[in-house]
Structure 1
């Protein structure tokens, strides 16, 4: 009887132990093992490339909030901390993010930094509508930082991201190479569409409120005329506005383009004075909440830009 009681008691104890082990919290996996490495980027074009190349293997974190004028952005302490905690920080360069030049000096050695402007061909700007091609990467002068609107530069940027990701995260190098090749193929198709779509047009004059389209104009043999220069917060002079009104009338320009995140009062004024239409054109420095929700990308928005340009310039 005593032996039977001991057996029953032992069985109860064993059941309790098993139950405790089943319901007790399991050892937690460390945060580092469940979270992918973080890559922080500034402009939208960098975000799209990084996301296209990385797939789901990395966390791509855009620093500039959606719908914000990227020219006017400056990171707050929380955003600086996010960059500091990243494995890699990629910024546009060429004077676009003045805050990044100072910030990169304070980042820890664990955060690698890429100034993407060092990997593309830049255009030197001498004022609204005046551009000269600059084959080198010397930033001694004033360079137009909107270089992603040259699709060849987007291809070079994609190759740079592929190369740098593969160095930092070699286990996924084959994935990066494949994704980069796929995205470059889409960019090459877009470049071909621009070449064909803007080959024969009644007008080749591109009038915009902000000098953000110099690369798009140069690569597609358009005359780029802007009301203000590279910085979106510049104020146009009365003379400059009057000169552009005269040019629009003289050349029979049908459309005055303006940037979505910038005040369009001047463009609307010129349109009223000349009988032209005012229409938005996306320079892809950033996108809006609505554009994100409707799954817009660099590729789709550039396609929409092409359609607007073809209509405005009466292309065949």
Structure 2
């Protein structure tokens, strides 16, 4: 978002008044006000924060987070938050709002885990943001978020640390299940609609073949479609994966070309099913992977 536009939004937010906003201390109704950039960070903040925080997610359910823009109300929520949780470099509009309005009250999760670059054969440059798809790195984020919440709200510090440890234990169990289930498979390549799964692939010895780069809405070139189809045939790929927030048409095109089927592999950038959460989706992803790759555990 251009700086001038953000300034206009901030002015409109102030003019709209303070009704329903958190207090200057970052608390509302006795609870710490936490703003999160997109779903995985919302999930962690709610699990670790428990009933002593109020969490607001800047990316609406079912929305694609890569290109999110903020309205005046959301900018005001960032300004009033006791803690803003985000991943720097993933959502420019969020980065700018936090940099201007919540710099001293923010937690950049990329500052506590090592990010990895996109694959060398990718059209993308820079660092891959999809770190939450690695349960080990996500557990580190959970630990550090617990500490950050404890700093922001010392009265409930012990509770935050206990809940953070509980989440870490659950993520460790998930990691062990993934490692065991993906240890022995007929195939190791996963063809995905966009390059969101490199952390997961690296953790478990798989190879990701992305049809598009970081943006799931990008249109692949005919050349790229041909490259993916040839690689899928060469590796005996039986499944082309697409995700829930974008059209499956490109994946279906590749699948028809190589005689494969399609299935969902969810990058967890946002949820459309209110009954699902991070763990249920990750378990569903594992089931889809083991079937597609012919794994025996």
User: So what's the TM-score if we normalise by structure 1?
Assistant: 0.82
Matched, 1:245 2:229: yes
- 2:201 equivalent in structure 1: 217
1:285 and 1:230 map into 2 onto residues whose CA distance is 12
Instruction: Please give the residue correspondences for 1:226-237 in structure 2 after superposition, counting only pairs within 5 Å.
Output: 226-237=210-221
- 2:108 equivalent in structure 1: 115
Does the CA contact (< 8 Å) of 1:36 and 1:59 recur in 2? Answer: yes
2:139 and 2:184 map into 1 onto residues whose CA distance is 25
2:84 and 2:170 map into 1 onto residues whose CA distance is 25
CA RMSD of aligned residues (A): 1.9
Matched, 1:152 2:132: no
Shift of 1:130: 8.6
Q: Please list the CA deviations of residues 150-177 of structure 1 after superposition, one character each: whole Å capped at 9, or x if unmatched.
A: 1111111101111111111111111111
Q: Unaligned regions of 5+ residues in structure 1, if any?
A: 1-29, 132-140
Matched, 1:104 2:98: yes
Q: Please list the CA deviations of residues 114-133 of structure 1 after superposition, one character each: whole Å capped at 9, or x if unmatched.
A: 111111111111556599xx
Q: Equivalent residue of 2:158, what SS?
A: helix
Equivalent of 2:38 in 43, 47, 50: 43
Cα distance 1:130–1:299, how it changes in 2: closer, same or farther (>3 A)?
A: farther
Instruction: Please give the residue correspondences for 1:52-71 in structure 2 after superposition, counting only pairs within 5 Å.
Output: 52-71=47-66
1:229 and 1:142 map into 2 onto residues whose CA distance is 12
1:107 and 1:164 map into 2 onto residues whose CA distance is 18
Cα distance 1:301–1:108, how it changes in 2: closer, same or farther (>3 A)?
A: closer
- 2:190 equivalent in structure 1: 206
2:216 and 2:224 map into 1 onto residues whose CA distance is 16
Does the CA contact (< 8 Å) of 2:78 and 2:102 recur in 1? Answer: no
Shift of 1:33: 7.2
2:29 and 2:53 map into 1 onto residues whose CA distance is 11
Q: Please list the CA deviations of residues 264-290 of structure 1 after superposition, one character each: whole Å capped at 9, or x if unmatched.
A: 2110000111110111111011111xx
1:225 and 1:58 map into 2 onto residues whose CA distance is 40
- 1:24 equivalent in structure 2: none
- 2:3 equivalent in structure 1: none
Shift of 1:100: 2.1
Does the CA contact (< 8 Å) of 1:129 and 1:225 recur in 2? Answer: no
Q: Unaligned regions of 5+ residues in structure 2, if any?
A: 1-21
- 1:84 equivalent in structure 2: 79
Q: Please list the CA deviations of residues 244-276 of structure 1 after superposition, one character each: whole Å capped at 9, or x if unmatched.
A: 111111211010001211222110000111110
Q: Equivalent residue of 1:37, what SS?
A: strand
Matched, 1:180 2:164: yes
- 2:70 equivalent in structure 1: 75
1:118 and 1:203 map into 2 onto residues whose CA distance is 34
Cα distance 1:88–1:234, how it changes in 2: closer, same or farther (>3 A)?
A: same
2:198 and 2:249 map into 1 onto residues whose CA distance is 21
- 2:282 equivalent in structure 1: 302
Is 122-131 or 247-256 further displaced after alignment? 122-131
Would you say how many aligned residue pairs link Structure 1 and Structure 2?
272
Q: Equivalent residue of 1:266, what SS?
A: helix
Q: Equivalent residue of 1:61, what SS?
A: strand
